[in-house]
Amino acid sequence: MVKLYKSKNYSLKDKAEIGFAIGKAYDDMKMPEEASKYLIFSNNQRNLIIILKMKYNFRNYTRIYLVVLKIGFKKTLAEVNLCLFLF
């Protein structure tokens, strides 16, 4: 598993999941120093992923809000959905 973890072919999410598995394995073998290295790094990666998703979603919601403001609130729901689909 450590070879997989050190490979550069994985996304941040995959690396975090592999790191949690390695950390758990080291913890089961009563090697807390090794376990903590992988668990802390994997936890930081997961937190980074969550923050990036939040920023992406906020950006998209802001764009949708601006589109709705631009077309006005008096439009029908079908027109709003069409604008959001085209957006």
Any idea where the domains of the chain sit in the sequence? 2-86
Listed in sequence order, the residues at least 6 apart from 43 whose beta carbon sits closer than 8 Å to its beta carbon are: 16
pLDDT band at 57 (very low <50, low <70, confident <90, very high): confident
Task: Tell me the pTM.
Answer: 0.60
Cβ within 8 Å of residue 49, ≥6 positions away: 12, 13, 16
Kindly indicate the confidence band of residue 25, based on its pLDDT and cuts at 50, 70 and 90.
Answer: very high
